[in-house]
């Protein structure tokens, strides 16, 4: 079974919209925690000098 085509998002606002949580700070906090606790360590990305919240300027957390 072929996988669905992936759409390239132009910016982080589109990413929040795609997840359906553009104006939902609590849900954004959950996503950021997943990035920090799961994704970053798997890919050796560490937020030493900044947090994921500062990387994503549209985050409302």
Per-residue pLDDT of 1-54, as tens digits, reads: 455 566 676 777 888 888 888 888 888 888 888 877 777 777 666 555 555 555
Domain count across the chain: 1
Decide if 35 contacts 52 (C-beta within 8 A). yes
pLDDT at 61 over 70: no
| CA–centroid distance for 59 within its chain | 9
In a domain, 37, yes or no: yes
pTM: 0.51
Residue 56: per-residue pLDDT: 61
Residue 34: per-residue pLDDT: 81
Residue 55: per-residue pLDDT: 58
Non-local (6+) Cβ contacts of 15 within 8 A are: 9
Domain span holding position 28: 12-55
In a domain, 28, yes or no: yes
């Amino acid at each position: 079974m072929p996988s669905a085509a992936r759409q390239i998002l132009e910016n982080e606002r589109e990413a929040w919209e795609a997840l359906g949580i553009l104006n939902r700070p609590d849900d954004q906090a959950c996503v950021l925690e997943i990035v920090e606790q799961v994704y970053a360590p798997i890919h050796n990305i560490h937020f030493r000098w900044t947090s994921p919240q500062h990387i994503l300027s549209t985050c409302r957390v």
